Amino acid sequence: MQETYIRLVHRPPSDSAGIRAWLFTVATNLARDDYKLSARRRRLLMGNADVLADPPEVIDTVERAEARARVRSALATLSEKERVLLLMREEGFKHREIAAAIGATTGSVGTLIARALAKLAEQLDRTGEAE
């Protein structure tokens, strides 16, 4: 969060009306970068997995991580526009703010959300069947 506001101070968006959407986009990109870095670190640690023990409380953590991984995998099948659309919706952005961030009209945001949710649900159903 701090890095997002630092970027706002150093390089503010040209359109002050869409500042909330700009902040969301920057924060999302920073979080994605952080996730990629964490994933690389996990892969390195898994090379030493034979020295790690599996206590019972780890099982719940692993199951939750697997569920999150399924959702991330399903989200990855969506276009960038659809992912941003759904994430902004979940964060409580208004349709006009979402429209400004993705370059759409305010009237089309509801339809775009419905289509993106349907695609996400279909993908989650597919990955659930594969297990």
93-126 pLDDT, tens digit per residue, is: 999 999 999 999 999 999 999 999 999 999 888 8
**According to the model, what pLDDT value does residue 115 have?**
95
Q: Are 113 and 86 in contact (CB under 8 A)?
A: yes
Residue 49: which pLDDT band, with cuts at 50, 70 and 90?
Answer: low
Q: What is the pLDDT of residue 109?
A: 94
The one-letter amino acid at 6: I
Torsion angle, alpha carbons of 21, 102, 3, 32, to 10: 140
Q: Which residues contact 5 (CB under 8 A, 6 or more apart)?
A: 23
Cβ–Cβ < 8 Å for 25, 11: no
What phi and psi, each to the nearest 5 degrees, are found at residue 65?
-65, -40
Burial 42-79 (b: 16+ CB within 10 A, else e): eeeeeeeeeeeeeeeeeeeeeeeeeeeebeeebbeebe
- 84, 94 Cβ separation under 8 angstroms: no
Give residue-wise pLDDT tens across range 26-35: 888 888 888 8
Residues 108 and 104: their CA atoms lie apart, in Å, by: 7
Question: Is the CATH number 1.10.10.10 carried by domain 58-131?
Answer: yes
How close are the terminal C-alpha atoms of the chain, in Å?
36
- Percent of the chain exceeding pLDDT 70 equals 86
pLDDT score, position 113: 94
pTM for the complete prediction? 0.54
